[in-house]
């Protein structure tokens, strides 16, 4: 619809007539817009952080033997992956692939001669495993496995809660006991090289990581549980996973990080509902705020509307003025809300505000608001259009009433 400048100028002048009322409306729209942007930005940052944590933990793509993900093994590594080194080399030949890390999952008892605890162990490549963990694994004490000299025997990295339970520290000697792939009992002595924290209390309570060669010796096998593929670009995950499934022809099972990230999907679904509901509340508040302002303006200017009609203005033109007035108020509030949200986001980043640890975790995390241009555009357009809609609804009836009644209104 073509908007002539005189109509827009008239709408802006009308919005400035009662400045106090217009400022209140602008403040409500700005506050609502800022609240929606801050909530949505926090949700986006949470999604990105959880996605990165999940991808760093599992890899972008996980390759395993058929039935491995069913979790129904009767003996250790019943569905383990054979000839993993050759398969890893073939995967590394792909241009999208950055790293391929073998992992061997096992469990058993770990003891210090006086006390034993159940552990959940992972055999890893010590040269690369800790490079991919990044900020999602914090070193509490000591060093990682790659710092253990070969002449000092096998090393082990423990979760901080398990280390505290065993009264272990870097340099302590411990014994791992587990079942081999044939069901017999096996044991190996290890030396604690480091203590780490994942930020998740239940994991830190059982976490134990050893060199994959040590794990294979303990279980008397040359298999691994799975290969974890890390890509150069996260966006290539879907394409690479589909290609690997096609190439495997059922001989291997392939899953991407999103299929493995149940916690990420649960949090995303929860936040979508929470912030979606918040967004609806904000839009309703803006609708009523602008509608109330324009309803009062329409009542006060009914005789003015009658005068405009008497001078030849059509109901559509009168409605256009009030709609543009509401749109101007909504746009001003949306822009102010965007600026306010950006300012708060930068302040939170500069002040390094920390959130308390969420349930099940032992470490807090920074309160960061993701400034998404797409989110800003959607919020701004939604508030502006909703304000215009509210103005249209409240002005239609007054614009269509008879001229004589409008001129006689008191």
How many helical (H) and strand (E) elements, i.e. helices and strands, does the chain have? 14, 12
Q: Is the pTM of this model over 0.75?
A: yes
pLDDT digit string (tens) for 360-391? 676 777 888 999 999 999 999 988 888 888 88
The residues facing 209 across adjacent strands are 122, 157
pLDDT digit string (tens) for 12-71? 676 667 677 778 888 888 988 998 899 899 989 989 988 988 899 999 999 999 989 887
Cα–Cα distance, 288 to 254 (Å, whole number): 52
- Of 198, 136, 190, nearest in space to 161 by CA: 198
Cα–Cα distance, 136 to 198 (Å, whole number): 6
Q: Which residues contact 95 (CB under 8 A, 6 or more apart)?
A: none
- Residue 220 dihedral angles phi and psi, to the nearest 5°: 55, 55
Cα–Cα distance, 322 to 340 (Å, whole number): 27
Cα–Cα distance, 173 to 19 (Å, whole number): 76
pLDDT digit string (tens) for 299-338? 777 777 777 778 777 778 778 877 888 888 888 889 999 9
Parallel, antiparallel, or unpaired: how do β-strands 97-111 and 173-179 relate? antiparallel
Query: Residue 179: is its pLDDT beyond 80?
Result: yes
- Tokens 């991919």 belong to which residue? 132
Structure confidence at residue 185 as a pLDDT band (50, 70, 90)? very high
**Cα 357–Cα 363–Cα 369 angle in degrees, nearest 5:** 65
- Tokens 């294979």 belong to which residue? 216
State CA 282 to chain mean position distance. Answer: 22
Give DSSP secondary structure letters for 66-98. TTGGGT--SSTTTTPBSSHHHHHHHHHTSTTEE
Q: Taking the alpha carbons of 375, 381, 384, 388 in that order, is the dihedral positive or negative?
A: negative
Report which secondary-structure segment, H or E, holds 108. strand 97-111
248 or 166, higher pLDDT: 166
């Amino acid at each position: 619809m073509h908007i002539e400048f005189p109509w827009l100028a008239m709408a802006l002048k009308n919005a400035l007539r009662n400045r106090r009322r217009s400022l209140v409306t602008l403040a409500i729209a700005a506050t609502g817009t800022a609240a929606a942007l801050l909530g949505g930005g926090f949700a986006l940052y949470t999604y990105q952080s959880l996605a990165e944590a999940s991808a760093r933990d599992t890899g972008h793509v996980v390759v395993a033997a058929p039935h491995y993900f069913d979790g129904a093994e009767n003996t250790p590594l019943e569905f383990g992956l054979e000839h993993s080194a050759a398969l890893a080399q073939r995967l590394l030949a792909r241009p999208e692939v950055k790293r391929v890390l073998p992992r061997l999952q096992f469990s058993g008892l770990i003891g210090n001669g006086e006390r034993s605890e159940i552990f959940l162990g992972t055999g890893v490549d010590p040269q690369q495993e800790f490079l991919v963990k990044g900020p999602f694994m914090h070193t509490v004490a000591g060093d990682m496995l790659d710092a253990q000299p070969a002449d000092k025997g096998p090393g082990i990295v423990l979760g901080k809660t398990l280390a505290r339970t065993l009264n272990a520290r870097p340099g302590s000697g411990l014994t791992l006991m587990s079942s081999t792939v044939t069901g017999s009992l096996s044991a190996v002595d290890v030396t604690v090289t480091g203590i780490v924290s994942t930020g998740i209390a239940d994991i830190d309570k059982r976490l134990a990581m050893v060199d994959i060669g040590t794990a294979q010796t303990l279980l008397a096998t040359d298999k691994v549980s799975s290969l974890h593929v890390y890509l150069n670009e996260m966006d290539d995950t879907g394409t690479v996973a589909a290609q690997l499934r096609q190439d495997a022809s059922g001989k291997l099972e392939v899953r991407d990080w999103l299929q493995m990230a149940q916690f990420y999907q649960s949090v995303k679904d929860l936040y979508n509902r929470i912030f979606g509901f918040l967004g609806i509340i904000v839009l309703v508040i803006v609708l009523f705020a602008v509608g109330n302002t324009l309803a009062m303006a329409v009542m006060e200017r009914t005789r003015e509307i009658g005068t405009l009609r008497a001078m030849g203005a059509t109901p559509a033109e009168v409605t256009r003025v009030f709609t543009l007035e509401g749109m101007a108020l909504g746009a001003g509030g949306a822009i102010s809300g965007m600026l306010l949200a950006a300012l708060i986001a930068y302040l939170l980043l500069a002040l390094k505000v920390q959130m308390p640890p969420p349930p099940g975790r032992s470490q807090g995390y920074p309160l960061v608001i993701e400034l998404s241009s797409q989110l800003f555009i959607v919020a701004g357009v939604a508030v502006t259009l909703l304000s215009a809609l509210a103005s249209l609804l409240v002005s239609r009836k007054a614009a269509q009433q008879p001229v004589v009644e409008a001129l006689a209104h008191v």
